């Protein structure tokens, strides 16, 4: 299983299943829950009402999960789970762990291969985002390793859904944490990197790390994504990099594209990707030092109008490419 943290809109994810941070009523709400219901259409609410009538007259318990169809969403399935509400005294980390793990069990049961999560309980439910990242990533890794003991999921709201929980190998290939804020994205990316199994291929046998050096820090340089940055510049570089990511995201969305911040940790590093409604990649901007520097120069030149000018520049470039003759 591959675990990814990306920036974007959960409702636009073209995966087998997305996870809804629902409330116990299953009847919609604010935040992620409301956005999913709006994107899926009224059929989702009707399906949830049937679940309340047939299986959960008192509401879906905290930490449990149940599936419905995705209806108007790109995702075929919605896995509804209820995270613990810290403001209501639900402070047991196991409840949050169960919400992530049981969602995966339910997704596997309906045959999902790719699953996308929000930061369950990380919003109005009051859990610290760093703790959500730590618990969420740990729950996914333990589930993939078969060390999480989840409950029997029974049946979903759709009687036609296949039951695949008895497979020897989990069918889920990719798990995405889809985050809205750059700060949450960095926390999840860092937690994924921190818990990544050791890569025995690096350093090679004939390479010796200097005293005090690590795989992500050596000779006064820190590895940020795929690039080495001087220690004294790391804080400003991260801030400028997030500003550049936000600017390109805004510019691509202004063109009507679906935009995600993804590929962190890849050989070429993280990128902002823009796809059309059919999922075809239309544009991409790697968040490398050159892109960050270009955005810095853009802000110096245009000041408060930098975002608007970037939108205009990308629009002009795309219009040119569309009108350019092809061989």
Phi and psi torsions of 82, nearest 5°: -115, 115
- Domain count within the chain: 2
Q: For residues 88 and 176, is the Cβ–Cβ distance under 8 A?
A: no
pTM of the model: 0.76
For residue 308, name the pLDDT band (cuts at 50, 70, 90): confident
pLDDT tens-place string over residues 68-93: 999 999 999 999 999 999 999 999 99
Q: At what angle do helices 129-145 and 182-194 cross, to 10 degrees?
A: 40
93 and 184 together in one domain: yes
**CATH number of the domain enclosing 78:** 3.40.220.10
Q: For residue 152, what pLDDT is reported?
A: 46
By annotation, the residues acting in catalysis are 33
Q: Is the pLDDT of residue 205 over 80?
A: no
Determine the structural domain holding residue 46 and report its residue range: 2-192
DSSP labels, 174-231: EEEEEESSHHHHHHHHHHHHHTSPP-TTSS-TT--PPTT-BTTEETTEEEETTEEEEG
Query: Of 192, 208, 227, which residue is a domain's last?
Result: 192
How many angstroms separate the CA atoms of 19 and 15, rounded?
11
Find out whether 281 and 218 touch, Cβ atoms under 8 Å: no
Beta-bridge partner residues of 223: 228
């Amino acid at each position: 299983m591959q675990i990814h943290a990306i920036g974007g809109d959960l409702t636009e994810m073209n995966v087998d299943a997305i996870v809804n941070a629902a409330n116990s009523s299953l009847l919609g709400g604010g935040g992620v829950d409301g956005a999913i219901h709006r994107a899926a259409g009224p059929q989702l609410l009707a399906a949830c009402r049937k679940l309340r009538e047939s299986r959960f007259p008192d509401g879906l318990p905290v930490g449990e999960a149940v599936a419905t169809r995705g209806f108007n969403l790109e995702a075929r399935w919605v896995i509804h789970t209820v995270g613990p509400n810290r403001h209501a005294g639900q402070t047991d980390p196991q409840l949050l762990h169960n919400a992530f793990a049981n969602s995966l069990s339910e997704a596997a049961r309906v045959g999902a291969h790719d699953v996308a999560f929000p930061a369950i309980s990380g919003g109005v439910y009051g859990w610290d985002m760093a703790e959500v990242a730590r618990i969420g990533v740990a729950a996914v890794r333990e589930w993939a390793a078969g060390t999480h003991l989840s409950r029997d999921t029974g049946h979903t709201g759709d009687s036609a859904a296949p039951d695949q929980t008895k497979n020897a190998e989990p069918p889920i290939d990719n798990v995405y944490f889809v985050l809205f804020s750059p700060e949450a994205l960095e926390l999840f990316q860092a937690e994924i990197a921190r818990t990544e199994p050791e890569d025995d291929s690096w350093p090679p046998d004939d390479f010796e790390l200097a005293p005090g050096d690590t795989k992500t820090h050596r000779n006064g340089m820190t590895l940020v994504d795929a690039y080495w940055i001087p220690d004294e510049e790391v804080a400003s570089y991260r801030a400028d990099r997030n500003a550049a990511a936000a600017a390109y995201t805004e510019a691509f969305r202004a063109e009507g594209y679906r935009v995600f911040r993804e590929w962190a940790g890849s050989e070429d590093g993280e990128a902002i990707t823009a796809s059309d409604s059919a999922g075809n990649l239309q544009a991409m901007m790697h968040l490398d030092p050159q892109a960050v520097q270009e955005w810095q120069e853009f802000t110096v030149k245009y000041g408060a109008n930098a975002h608007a000018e970037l939108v205009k520049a990308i629009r002009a470039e795309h219009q040119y490419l569309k009108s350019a003759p092809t061989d």
